[in-house]
């Protein structure tokens, strides 16, 4: 699944996707969705960080 911004439209899409696709695919009567936010994106590199001391 591609990255979608945290908007009401994206959450509405996800609810419909879970209801219409995932419930049938996994033969579930319900799927629990929990929206957690805000989530920060961090860029991690191999760069070394040193103290100035």
Per-residue pLDDT of the chain (53 residues; tens, 9 = 90+): 456 678 889 899 999 999 999 999 999 999 999 887 777 666 777 766 677 76
Q: Is 7 left (phi over 0), alpha (psi -120 to 50) or beta?
A: beta
Asked if residues 16 and 31 have their Cβ atoms less than 8 Å apart, the reply is no
Tell me, what DSSP letter sits at residue 27? T
Q: Is 36 left (phi over 0), alpha (psi -120 to 50) or beta?
A: beta
Give pTM, 2 decimals. Answer: 0.60
């Amino acid at each position: 699944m591609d990255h979608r911004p945290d908007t009401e439209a994206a959450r509405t899409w996800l609810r419909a996707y879970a209801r219409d696709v995932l419930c049938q695919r996994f033969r579930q009567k319900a799927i629990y969705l929990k929206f957690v936010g805000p989530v920060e994106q961090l860029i991690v590199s191999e760069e070394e960080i040193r103290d100035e001391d």
